[in-house]
A and B are shown apart, each in its own frame.
Chain A
Amino acid sequence: DAGITQSPRYKITETGRQVTLMCHQTWSHSYMFWYRQDLGHGLRLIYYSAAADITDKGEVPDGYVVSRSKTENFPLTLESATRSQTSVYFCASIHAPGQGAEQYFGPGTRLTVT
């Protein structure tokens, strides 16, 4: 039972390049989320998805694009990476949607933009 996996775990890219972070869950959870973690800011929501082909913006969506063609995958793309997007990115999912639902987190991807 792999749960949520993220790839790559570490990535170094250059300013202006496109980069895609992958998130895969084996539970068929409907809701999935992307967060970025930065010192002094905690975790901030970038995008989330309620189901396949349904996505919505979070608190900090600028510069990011998401898609969800299959329930189990939720890739996050930085179309033109900037140094301010250097961060640790976490994917999460919810088992049973509703108030108070626990989110399950992947191990994270550490992205450095040079």
Chain B
Amino acid sequence: AQSVTQLDSQVPVFEEAPVELRCNYSSSVSVYLFWYVQYPNQGLQLLLKYLSGSTLVKGINGFEAEFNKSQTSFHLRKPSVHISDTAEYFCAVSEGNKLIFGTGTLLAVQP
């Protein structure tokens, strides 16, 4: 079975600083990877996804992620964060029509 590891439960960062949220997956076969964002008291919405092709994937709100097969990683990055980016971020891997989620990383942007 697939699994996803998000080692950082919380990442504090100052506004306008760069940020990287780490995600590692377990599968050695073809994978489809996702990043979802959850703002306070809301459901999850898709930030970006990797299906195939270019290993650098661009998403909404200035986020991007890089698929690294050799390191089985799919880290999320943003060059300059805003207060409004404060949210919980979930990495997920596709298993058939199901998604396997990581435990989430709380991005706390401070002024």
Contact = CB atoms under 8 A, between A and B. Distances in A.
Whether A and B are associated in the same complex: the answer reads yes
Interface in A15-66: 31, 33, 35, 40-45, 48, 50, 58
B98 A33 contact: yes
Q: How large is the interface on B (under 10, 10 to 19, 20 to 34, 35 or more residues)?
A: 20 to 34
A90 B44 contact: yes
Contacts of B45: 105
Contacts of B46: 102-103
A94 interface: yes
Interface in B67-111: 90, 94, 96-99, 101-104
Q: A-side binding surface: helix, strand, loop or mixed?
A: strand
B96 A99 contact: yes
A41 B94 contact: no
Name the 6 nearest CB pairs between A and B, nearest first: A105-B43, A100-B32, A42-B103, A43-B101, A42-B101, A105-B44
Interface of B: 6, 9, 32, 34, 36, 41-46, 49, 51, 90, 94, 96-99, 101-104
10 contacts: A42-B90, A42-B102, A45-B99, A100-B32, A100-B51, A101-B94, A102-B34, A105-B43, A107-B41, A108-B42
